[in-house]
């Protein structure tokens, strides 16, 4: 693709133009900045001040290899093996979902709840922890929090453990199947907070999803049968009924299509102060509920 030495501006334009074949223009440009930051070590501000900088063919060849992967719909986070969440860096691969900005809003809601309710050294359980982004961010942000994370995927837990080490926090991880018959019956210890971003996309919704998600992110962390889209929420709610402390909190990230249904369900299960919140796109995305005293 690059037969001669090019300026930074030319390289940027070629990458962004190529990526617009499969991404909307703003996203293509954002990915291009990410690629150039990773490969050249330039911040976005420095790029704009250095458009005339020249780069040799070796850089062009490296970028060609990266661009080839991106044009196969491989997410840029998987290309570089990392993602950013709440200002922290997380290792990611095909065994874990890429952390989303919407999930950052869920973490922010939890931290705010802890402050408003003067929860000191809370015990927190993250169910379906994946990369560990929720559990680790909470361990970083909440003073003296005792955090555990569980997941059905042993490979995901390996990633989570590495992320905890890299981010210098202590989080206890364990391989657990929340849909097993014994899960809800377990009462090992009581938690102040149980949080989960479980699989919540019906299989029928695949036709509406983008290839970068469908072809690369783990389906076990994304999809549930259309006939039982709330299967994880019921299992986790049943567990939380037994394992939350009195006045403890249950937090969910949710499918926007089932917000009101989940509010009704949690209320019927005896939870109080059930609240539905929207993400920055205005979509129903999070639920908070409190166990009665």
DSSP, residue by residue, the chain: ---S-EEHHHHHHHHHHHHTTTS-HHHHHHHHHHHHHHHH---HHHHHT-TT-EE-HHHHHHHHHHHHHHHTT--HHHHHTEEEETTEEEE--TTSPPP-HHHHHHHHHHHHHHHHTT--S-EEEEES-TTSHHHHHHHHHSTT-EEEEEES-HHHHHHHHHHHHHTT--EEEEE--TTSTTTTT--S--EEEEEE----EEGGGGGGS-HHHHTTS-GGGTEE-GGGTTHHHHHHHHHHHHHEEEEEEEEEE--GGGHHHHHHHHHHTT-EEEEEEE-TTS-EEEEEEE---
Instruction: Please give the structure tokens belonging to residue 94.
Output: 């095909």
- So what's the pLDDT on residue 208? 78
114-122, long-range: CB < 8 A, 24+ apart = 114/142, 114/193, 119/192, 119/193, 120/144, 121/145, 121/146, 122/146, 122/191, 122/192, 122/193
- So what's the pLDDT on residue 2? 46
- So what's the pLDDT on residue 4? 63
**Spatial separation of the C-alpha atoms in residues 38 and 18, rounded to whole Å:** 18
- So what's the pLDDT on residue 1? 45
**Spatial separation of the C-alpha atoms in residues 50 and 251, rounded to whole Å:** 45
Taking only the tens of pLDDT, the chain with its 293 residues reads 445 668 999 999 999 999 999 999 999 999 999 999 999 998 999 999 999 999 887 888 899 999 999 999 999 999 999 999 999 999 999 999 999 999 999 999 999 999 999 998 999 999 999 999 999 999 999 999 999 999 999 999 999 999 999 999 999 999 999 998 778 666 667 999 999 999 888 777 877 778 878 787 788 777 777 777 899 999 999 999 999 999 999 999 999 999 999 999 999 999 999 999 999 999 999 999 999 98
Tokens 């102060």: give the residue: 273
- So what's the pLDDT on residue 3? 52
Which among 147, 195, 204 is positioned nearest to 170, based on CA atoms?
A: 147
């Amino acid at each position: 693709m690059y037969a001669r030495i090019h300026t930074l501006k030319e390289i940027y334009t070629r990458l962004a133009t190529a990526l617009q074949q499969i991404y909307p223009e703003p996203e293509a440009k954002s990915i291009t900045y990410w690629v150039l930051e990773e490969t050249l070590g330039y911040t976005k501000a420095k790029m704009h001040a250095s458009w005339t900088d020249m780069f040799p063919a070796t850089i062009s060849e490296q970028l060609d290899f990266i661009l080839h992967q991106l044009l196969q719909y491989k997410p840029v986070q998987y290309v570089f093996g990392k993602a950013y969440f709440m200002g922290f860096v997380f290792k990611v691969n095909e065994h874990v979902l890429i952390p989303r900005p919407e999930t950052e809003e869920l973490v922010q809601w939890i931290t705010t709840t802890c402050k408003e309710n003067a929860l000191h050294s809370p015990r927190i359980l993250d169910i379906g922890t994946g990369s560990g982004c929720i559990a680790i961010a909470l361990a970083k942000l909440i003073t003296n929090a005792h955090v555990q994370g569980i997941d059905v995927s042993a490979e995901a837990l390996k990633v989570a453990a590495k992320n905890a080490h890299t981010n210098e926090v202590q989080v206890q991880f364990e391989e657990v199947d929340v849909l097993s018959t014994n899960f809800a019956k377990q009462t090992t210890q009581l938690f102040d907070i149980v949080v989960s971003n479980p699989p919540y996309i019906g299989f029928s919704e695949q036709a509406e999803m983008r290839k970068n998600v469908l072809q690369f992110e783990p389906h076990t962390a994304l999809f549930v049968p259309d006939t039982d889209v709330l299967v994880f929420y019921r299992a986790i709610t049943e567990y939380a009924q037994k394992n939350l402390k009195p006045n403890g909190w249950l937090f969910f990230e949710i499918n926007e299509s089932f917000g009101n249904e989940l509010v009704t369900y949690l209320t019927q299960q005896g939870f109080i102060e059930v609240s539905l919140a929207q993400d920055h796109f205005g979509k129903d995305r999070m639920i908070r509920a409190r166990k009665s005293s």
